[in-house]
Amino acid sequence: MSKIILAINAGSSSVKVSVFSYHPTTSPNNPPSSKDNRDQIDTSLTELAQIQISNLTASPALLTYTRQGSSNNSSSPTTPNKNSPLPTSISTPRTAFQKILSVLLQDPDLPDLNSPADITVAVHRIVHGGGDFSTPTFLDDDETVAHLERLSDLAPLHNGGALEIVAAVRELGGSSKNDGEGDGKEAGKRKGKVRNLGLFDNMFHSATLPAEERAYMISPAKARSEGLRRYGFHGLSCAFITRAVGAWLERIQPSPSPPSPSRQQQQQQQPQSDPKGPNLIALHLGSGCSATCIQSGVSIATSMGLTPVSGLPGATRSGDVDPSLIFHYTHSAGRLSTASAADAEKTSEERGGNKMHITRAETILNKESGWKSLAGTTDFGALCAMAFPSSPSSSSSSSNPNNNNEEERKLAHLAFTILVSRIVDFIAAYYVKLSGEVDALVFAGGIGEKGSQLRKAVVEKIQCLGFELDGDLNAGPAFKGGEDVVAEIGKSGAKHRVVICQTDEQREMARECVGVMGGEF
C-alpha cells in the first residue's frame, strides 16, 4: 500500500508543496533506514504533484500547480494552473497552505489523496533549529512545538511561516474532496492525525563543522547561554547535491585512482566523514545565496552563520557587512520593526498563535538590502539585462534594458560584480581548505542553474586554480533527462570539474522522511 508524503517548503513570501507516493519495497526486518536499503528509497518514491503559492507579500498571490501525468495516463508533467491570481485573503503561509491542500484534495487526477486522512506524513523544511534541533524531529506534541517556537526569536524571519503550517497540519480534520475547502476546525475528531516531521536546514552542518568554524570570538559563556554560533543553512540542498554529484562522479569515474597523500591525510583528519564522499565546493545561488565546503561528503565550512543573512549577498540580504554598519545606518536598530509590531498583534487564527519579534536591524539586513537595494529588482535575470543590455542572454528578460538609464545600468553592474567577487572569495578560501583536492565546483539553485553569465564571470576569475568552462555547455547544459540531475559544463581536460546540479529540496525531504520513519512505513 502506498504512503502519501507532503514535503512542505515555506518561505517568507511563498509556500511550495510536493506530493510524493512511497511504495515500501523492504521488509520490516530490513527497513529503509538501514544502510543496505537507503539506495532503494529513490526508486520507491514517486512525485505526484508540485504546487506553489508565491507573491504572498505583494497581492495578489499566485498559484502554480504541476501534476505528473493526467487522467489520460500521460507520464508527462501537466500544469493545470500557472500563475493563477488568488483572492487577497490568501496572504499568509497558513492560508496559502490551506488553499494548496484544498486544490490537491479536489483534484480527481490524484486518486491516492482523497482526504487529509490519506496523508501519512507532512515533512516540513524549518530553516533554523538552533542548537536544540539538529536532527529530524517529530512535531506532534505541544511541548516540542512550544520549544521550537521559543527558539524562533533566533530566526523570526525564517521560521514563522513553517510553524504556521505545522499548526495548520496539526488541526487537520478528515474532510473529503466533496466537502469543499473546510476550515480545519474539526481537528482531533478523527482517529488518526497526520504526522509532522521537522527537518532543519542547519542539520547538514551541525555535527561536522569544526570548532574554529562554529565559534565566534565572543564570551564563551554568553555564546553557550544564547546559542550564538555558526549554524549554516541550505543544508537540505547541500545534502541533495552531495549525494547526487557523488553518484554522478562514481558513474563517470567507476575506477578512481587511489587518493593522493594529501587526500588520505584529509580523510584521516575527518573520522566522521564517509571516505567515499566527494570533495565539493557547492554554491547554492538563488534569492538566498550560500557557499559550502564539503570534504569527503560532509560540511567543514559554510558561508552562512548564526542566521542566513551572513556570507554571500542575496536578493534582499546584505551578506557580510561590518557589524557596526547597522548602527550608522539607523538609530533605531534595536527597536521592533513596524512590520513586526503589526505582526505581533495578529490573532492566533491568522498566524497559528506565533508572535513575531523582528528588530529594525533584522528587517534592513534581511529585507531591504541585497541586489534589490542597488538595482531595484529581486529578479536576477532582469538585473543581468540591465547590467549587460547588449548581451544575447539578456534579450529574453521581461525587463527592457533600452529603458534603463546609465546610472541604473552602473548600479546593476555593480550588484552583479559584487556578487561575483564575494563568490570568488569563498571559492578561493575553500580551495585552500581542501588543499586543492576538489572533485567538482557545483552551481545549484535558481541562479546557479540558469545564470550562464554569472557562471562565466565566476569561473573566469578562478582559472588560475584549474577551473575552466566549456562555452557551449555553459550556454546549454546537457542534462540527460530522467533521474540525471547533474550536467558537466567544464572544459574537457581541465584540472577540476565544473557542474550544474538541479537541486531538489523537497525530494531530499521525502527521502529523509522515509529513512526516519523506517519500519513505521
pLDDT at 36 over 80: no
Instruction: Give the ranges where 253-359 is alpha helix by DSSP (H).
Output: 261-269, 325-329, 338-344, 348-351
pLDDT at 234 over 50: yes
* DSSP codes joined into one string, 451-508: -HHHHHHHHHHTGGGTB-B-HHHHHS----STT--EEE-BPTT-SBEEEEE---HHHH
- Structure confidence at residue 32 as a pLDDT band (50, 70, 90): low
Which of 30-44, 179-193, 328-342: highest mean pLDDT? 328-342
Q: Do the Cβ atoms of 329 and 360 come closer than 8 Å?
A: no
Q: Over the stretch 441-464, which tens digit does the pLDDT of each residue have?
A: 999 999 999 999 999 999 999 999
Percent of the chain whose pLDDT exceeds 90: 64
Determine the Cα–Cα distance for residues 145 and 139; give it in Å rounded to an integer: 6
Which residue in 107, 201, 343, 379 is the catalytic one? 201
pLDDT at 257 over 50: no
- Structure confidence at residue 187 as a pLDDT band (50, 70, 90): very low
Where in the chain are the domains? 3-200, 235-312+418-505, 320-343+357-368
| Of the candidates 57, 88, 93, 156, the residue with the CA atom closest to the CA atom of residue 372 | 57
Least confident of 229-243, 286-300, 323-337, 343-357: 343-357
Known catalytic residue: 322? no
Record the cell numbers describing residue 329, joined without a space.
545606518
Q: Which CATH superfamily is domain 235-312+418-505 in?
A: ATPase, nucleotide binding domain (3.30.420.40)
pLDDT score recorded for residue 49: 96
Q: Do the Cβ atoms of 165 and 15 come closer than 8 Å?
A: yes
> Quick one: DSSP state of residue 356?
P
Task: Give the three-state DSSP class for 26.
Answer: coil
Q: Do the Cβ atoms of 479 and 504 come closer than 8 Å?
A: no
Q: Which residues are annotated as a binding site for ATP?
A: 16, 284-288
Answer whether 3-200 and 235-312+418-505 agree in fold.
yes
Q: Over the stretch 48-81, which tens digit does the pLDDT of each residue have?
A: 999 999 988 778 999 999 998 654 444 567 777 8
pLDDT score recorded for residue 13: 82
Determine the Cα–Cα distance for residues 69 and 296; give it in Å rounded to an integer: 38
In 104-242, which ranges are E strands?
Answer: 119-126, 137-138, 195-200
- Structure confidence at residue 182 as a pLDDT band (50, 70, 90): very low
Q: Which residues are annotated as a binding site for Mg(2+)?
A: 9, 505
Selecting from 3.40.50.10880, 3.90.1660.10, 3.40.640.10, 3.30.420.40, what CATH number does the domain 3-200 have? 3.30.420.40
Residues 6+ apart with CB under 8 A from 370: 313, 314, 315, 316, 317, 318, 319, 378
Record the cell numbers describing residue 373, joined without a space.
537595494
pLDDT at 11 over 50: yes
Task: Give the three-state DSSP class for 141.
Answer: coil
Can you tell me the mean pLDDT for 261-287? 70
pLDDT score recorded for residue 82: 80
Determine the Cα–Cα distance for residues 136 and 203; give it in Å rounded to an integer: 8
Determine the Cα–Cα distance for residues 200 and 134; give it in Å rounded to an integer: 7
Higher-pLDDT residue of 340, 84 = 84
pLDDT score recorded for residue 351: 45
